[in-house]
Amino acid sequence: MTSPCDVRFVLRGALSTEEIFTKVAAWGEFENFGFSSIISEEIYNALDICLGENQNRYQSLHLRNILLWIKDYKVYPDCASLLGNILNRESFNQLPISIEEKQIKQVLALFQFQSQDGSWHHSKKLLNSNDKSDETARSKFAPSSRVLSQAYNERGVAFFFVCREKLADFVDEMAEWILNAQEDEKRGSALKYLLYGEHGENISRRLREKGLSDWLMRLNKDAQCFTGWDKDDIDEIIFRKLPSIEYLKGHDGQDVKEEHDISLPKDALSELTNIYEWWNSNRDIYLKEYEQSIYPGEVFPNLEIDKGYFIAYLDGEICIGLIKDGKCVNKEIDYKYLKSIRLFDLSVEYYIWLEDKKFNMRLRDDRKGEKTEVIDVKQIVYGTRVEEYKYYSLLKEDRGIEIKVPFKGLTIDNRQNRLFLLTRNYIGYTQNDIATYTDFRCVAFINNETIL
């Protein structure tokens, strides 16, 4: 039991939730407060009438206050592991109060983490080397001062990602790392990144603009950094990505033309004519192969929606926008994080989803096919109040949820006037004649009994 006289602190925001407070309470630093001096925001609100003038002596305690206990903003591996239990990408996206989320981000940006050489740096300056991503490929040729220490475990790395948010491109810096690479292993990793890395082409261009360093100028097919490489990859680096001026002149006195049988066409116009005729004869074959490898369901998506809507589901975000003349408008989507998207109007829905690193597509057209039993349902969209801006409206709820919608003039309250998503559920029957839903699609948005 806690006496009101002993209370000094009131838990606020995310810290007042049982899940987060339980994890924070396990931190040794928290024992300095004494649990008898702390009450939750819920209990404080219940005692509000009884407290009277005593309200002013209670100090609010937010999650950001706890984070500021970290000395000199240096997050050691054991501390990062504990904080990773509290704040990771999944839990951070579920913070109940958006204003507090922004305040926490401001604190997280101050934190420094230890690199592989023991120095300390802000999270935006460091790379993680513990997975198979493009980031790990960069870390293989980065200086040890720019790579996160291996002492951080999985939970610690999860907290590191929350602090850093988005990985910077580092194109100019990566070019410098390559120019100054000393060990053969780092040089090999750097050259591999030029071939297969996300920013490989941009870095190659930057290297040519800056001018190649001595080791790149002297690069040849027998270099130690090419050990175990495929010959075609070596040629790609030497003749296209860099290229090495010394090698093009003919390394070790050898004639490059003789070794690689390089020759110029005698008649450029004749060669261009041959290429044009070849493309006219083979274009359909190659375009079909390209479309089958790129487009969902191996079919070019002929979008037949002149006016409609789209709902895109990304990592940690839902985007709602309009379709006009067959194109998504008024909302930019970062397709790198796209998990699925529904594009629809009153008659048609294209449903595209990511599975096993490949996009698949399903088309549902109510104007075609056999008649099917359906049930239409209005689903409530988050938001009990609305703020209107120039190009969109912002729906909000007291629990902190916000969502942008491309509509204006909405009638919204916490009773009957809400924004609804109309969905159509298709009914089928099992072998035992038991009715079941076989599919559903989005149809339209409704507000004030009117289709928008």
24 or 232: whose pLDDT is higher? 232
Per the domain annotation, does 169 fall within a domain? no
Same domain, 160 and 14: yes
Supply the DSSP string of 73-90, one letter for each residue. GB--HHHHHHHHHHS-HH
Let me know if residue 368 belongs to a domain.
yes
Helix, strand, coil percentages in the chain from 3-state DSSP, rounded to 5: 40, 25, 35
Q: What's the pLDDT score for residue 254?
A: 47
- Tell me: do 23 and 117 sit in the same domain: yes
Whole-prediction pTM:
0.50
**What is residue 291's predicted lDDT score, i.e. its pLDDT?**
59
Q: Are residues 24 and 49 in the same domain?
A: yes
Q: Report in angstroms the alpha-carbon separations of 167 from 23, 161, 164.
A: 28, 9, 7
4 domain residue, yes or no: no
Q: Residue 176: pLDDT band by 50, 70, 90 thresholds?
A: very high
At residue 258, the pLDDT reads: 41
Cα atoms found within 13 Å of the Cα of residue 128, Cβ hemisphere only: 22
Residue in 349, 346, 347 with CA at minimum distance from that of residue 362 = 349
Please say whether the beta carbons of 96 and 400 come within 8 A: yes
Last residue of a domain, one of 164, 196, 224: 164
- Residues 146, 43, single domain; the answer is yes
Say if 171 falls within a structural domain.
Answer: no
Q: How many CB atoms are closer than 10 A to CB 183?
A: 11
Distance of CA 323 to the CA centre of its chain: 24
First and final CA of the chain: distance in angstroms? 55
Instruction: Give the pLDDT confidence of 282-338 residue by residue, as tens digits.
Output: 777 776 666 566 554 544 455 566 778 888 888 777 888 888 776 776 666 677 778
Do 13 and 159 lie in a common domain?
Answer: yes
Same domain, 110 and 52: yes
Same domain, 90 and 183: no
Domain co-membership, 42 together with 107: yes
* 152, part of any domain: yes
Q: Is 95 a member of any domain?
A: yes
Instruction: Give the residue, 173 or 290, on which the prediction is more confident.
Output: 173
> Which of 97-111, 145-159, 383-397 is the most confident on average?
145-159
Domain count of the chain? 4
**Residue type (1 letter), 423:** T
Shared domain for 55 and 149, answered yes or no, is yes
pLDDT tier, 415 (very low <50, low <70, confident <90, very high otherwise): confident
Structural domain includes residue 276: yes
In this structure, the answer to whether residues 416 and 439 fall within a common structural domain is yes
Phi, psi of 256 (to 5 degrees): -60, -35
pLDDT mean over 101-122: 88
- Torsion angle, alpha carbons of 267, 273, 275, 277, to 10: -150
pLDDT for res 253: 40
Of all residues in the chain, the percent with pLDDT exceeding 70 is 76
Tell me: do 185 and 256 sit in the same domain.
Answer: yes
Letter for the amino acid at 10?
V
Bridge partners for 23 per DSSP? none
Measured CA to CA, the distance from residue 312 to residue 377 in angstroms comes to: 20
Give the residue with greater pLDDT, 88 vs 440: 440
Look up the domain containing 354 and give its range.
Answer: 307-451
Where are the extended beta strands (E) located within 12-84? 38-39, 59-61
pLDDT band at 118 (very low <50, low <70, confident <90, very high): very high
pLDDT band at 187 (very low <50, low <70, confident <90, very high): very high
> What mean pLDDT comes out for the span 348-362?
85
Beta strands 450-451 and 435-447, pairing class: antiparallel
The CA-based angle 177-182-185, given to 5 degrees, is 90
Note whether 13 and 112 are same-domain residues: yes
**Assigned domain for 302 exists:** no
Residue 43 DSSP symbol:
H
Query: Does the pLDDT at position 20 exceed 80?
Result: no
pLDDT tens, 247-296? Answer: 455 544 444 444 444 455 556 677 777 787 887 787 777 766 665 665 54
Q: Mean pLDDT lowest for which of 22-36, 323-337, 366-380, 402-416?
A: 22-36
